Amino acid sequence: MKATRREFILGSAAIVGSTYVLAGASVDVPVADANDMVYVPAGTFTKGLTVEHAAGLAKQYGAHPSHFGGESGGEIHIEGFYIDRYPVTNRQYKQFIDLTGYVTPVGWAGLDFPAGCADVPVVGVNCEDAEAYCKWAGKRLPSEEEWGKGS
């Protein structure tokens, strides 16, 4: 059975699947420097919907509150972390491919990204691909809770 590839973008606080530096990680290959990352300070946030918020959405959209997720709201504490300011571009992902021999994303022609798309966010990668890139870059994907706090 062939694995299905999901498309999503790596990096940046505006997308799914962002990356951020592990404390004390050192990277031999200059993928991004600290100026391309932002610090999300430690703190708490509400995960999921509160009962009141779900009720408000239900009223607004004429639906039952259970249609707005089975997760009730709760306060979650997250330690501070750094997150990429911008999405990982095709140019950055190609550096990873060139140095590691990793498979290219869906939509690339051989080892090359589409013409004129060097600084466009990379797409056509799955979660395994994103994790491989992050490991190579000395980073990792955030947890669901970290992503919720950072977004």
Q: Where are the domains of the chain?
A: 1-39+83-151, 43-78
Instruction: Please give the residue that has the higher pLDDT: either 130 or 20.
Output: 130
User: Within 14-143, where are the H helices?
Assistant: 51-61, 90-100, 127-136
With both helix axes pointing from N to C terminus, report the angle between 127-136 and 90-100 in degrees, rounded to the nearest 10. Answer: 80
| Share of residues in the chain with pLDDT > 90 (%) | 34
pTM for the full predicted model: 0.65
Phi-psi region of 149 (alpha: psi -120 to 50; beta: other; left: phi over 0): alpha
Lowest mean pLDDT among 29-43, 50-64, 137-151: 29-43
**pLDDT tens track for 21-35:** 333 333 333 344 556
- The neighbour count for residue 86, using CB atoms within 10 Å, is 17
Q: What pLDDT is recorded for position 121?
A: 95
Q: How many CA atoms lie within 13 A of 46 on its CB side?
A: 9
